[in-house]
């Protein structure tokens, strides 16, 4: 069986368990040929007090030229933290020029959490991401990102009704299956999967901790199972369980991320 070749486009933090540092080993562990398109190189992720940032936007056209010369294409795409609104157009060019037939696109629009935008992002970036998700087959924003993408005021209630409202509004922006993460009710946390008016919840017990980079891990594991042909419900369940196991195996206060590496052999 031909090994699938996937391209993941996001930043690379030299230190810290997130973005490409997470996506590359996880997708590779699933037997996927994982190619990377780094949007920037950071000395360390942004939960540290300071960091360096090398913008690679200007290099991407050169990479595209060489890929085109070599006849490279991809069986699927996973997008995470892009960082600059100009990269949205380069992402569309990536899909247009380098897609194998029927190559699915998974977009995690990483730019906000807990009701606020991450440092360095503004509403112009949000508007570009709202356009970009139209090219996706699956999107998995968290509650805050779904609020910003749809212009919905953020509220602390992350339950079924609010998640459904957000999913319905997101479906006006894209034909993608919508996976809203961080839905909470009855002591559970998980995802609402929404497609053509049909809904499905994938929930697990909520753990009393929060760690950086767990969204990147979730997207990587979910994408691997999705590319393997599993249903999104099964993909989300397995990804959620993996993230929970990683959290249980990580000491409190560890802000690098979670210790996912120990579980990759399973």
The predicted-structure confidence for 78-101, as pLDDT tens digits, reads as follows 999 998 999 999 999 999 999 999
With a CB cutoff of 8 Å and minimum separation 6, the contacts of 237 are 202, 204
Cα distance between residue 200 and residue 191, in whole Å: 8
Could you give the domains of the chain? 5-263 (3.40.1190.20)
The first and second tokens of residue 91, run together, are 């992402």
The first and second tokens of residue 219, run together, are 């997207």
Check residue 211 and give its pLDDT.
87
pLDDT higher than threshold 80 for residue 2 = no
Check residue 119 and give its pLDDT.
84
With a CB cutoff of 8 Å and minimum separation 6, the contacts of 45 are 13, 15, 16, 18, 19, 51, 212, 213, 256, 257
Check residue 156 and give its pLDDT.
87
Cα distance between residue 40 and residue 72, in whole Å: 22
Check residue 107 and give its pLDDT.
98
The predicted-structure confidence for 105-151, as pLDDT tens digits, reads as follows 999 999 999 999 998 899 999 999 999 999 999 999 999 999 999 99
Check residue 158 and give its pLDDT.
85
Is pTM, for the whole model, over 0.75?
A: yes
Write the DSSP assignment of 53-111 as a string of letters. Answer: EEE-GGGHHHHHHHHHHHT--BSEEEE----STHHHHHHHHHHHHHBPTT--EEE---S
Cα distance between residue 17 and residue 258, in whole Å: 7
The predicted-structure confidence for 152-194, as pLDDT tens digits, reads as follows 999 988 889 999 999 999 999 999 999 999 999 999 999 999 9
Mean per-residue pLDDT, 211-215: 90
CA 232 to chain centre: 14
- With cut-offs at 50, 70 and 90, classify the pLDDT of residue 265: confident
Who wins on pLDDT, 54 or 252? 54
Check residue 228 and give its pLDDT.
95
The predicted-structure confidence for 242-264, as pLDDT tens digits, reads as follows 999 999 988 876 777 898 998 98
Cα distance between residue 239 and residue 233, in whole Å: 10
The count of other CB atoms within 10 Å of the CB of residue 252 is: 8
With a CB cutoff of 8 Å and minimum separation 6, the contacts of 32 are 3, 4, 5, 6, 224, 227
pLDDT higher than threshold 60 for residue 1 = no
């Amino acid at each position: 069986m031909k090994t699938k070749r996937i391209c993941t486009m996001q930043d690379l933090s030299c230190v810290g368990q997130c973005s490409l540092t997470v996506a590359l080993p996880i997708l590779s562990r699933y037997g996927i040929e994982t190619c990377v398109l780094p949007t920037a190189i950071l000395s360390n992720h942004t939960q540290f007090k300071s960091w360096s940032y090398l913008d690679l936007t200007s290099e991407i056209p050169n990479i595209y030229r060489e890929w085109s010369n070599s006849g490279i294409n991809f069986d699927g795409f996973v997008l995470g933290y892009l960082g600059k609104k100009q990269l949205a157009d380069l992402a569309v060019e990536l899909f247009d020029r380098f897609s194998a037939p029927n190559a699915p696109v998974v977009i995690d629009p990483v730019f906000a959490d807990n009701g606020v935008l991450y440092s360095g992002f503004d509403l112009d970036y949000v508007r570009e991401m709202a356009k970009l998700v139209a090219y996706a087959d699956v999107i998995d924003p968290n509650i805050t990102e779904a609020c910003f993408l749809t212009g919905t005021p953020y509220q602390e209630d992350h339950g079924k009704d609010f998640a459904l409202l957000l999913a319905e509004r997101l479906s006006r922006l894209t034909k993608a299956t919508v996976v809203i993460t961080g839905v909470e009710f009855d002591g559970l946390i998980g995802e609402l999967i929404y497609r053509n008016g049909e809904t499905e919840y994938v929930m697990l017990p909520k753990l009393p901790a929060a760690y950086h980079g767990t969204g990147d891990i979730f997207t990587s594991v979910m994408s691997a199972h999705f590319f393997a042909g599993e249903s999104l419900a099964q993909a989300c369940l397995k990804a959620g369980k993996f993230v929970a196991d990683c959290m249980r195996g990580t000491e409190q206060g560890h802000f690098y991320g979670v210790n996912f590496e120990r579980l990759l052999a399973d």
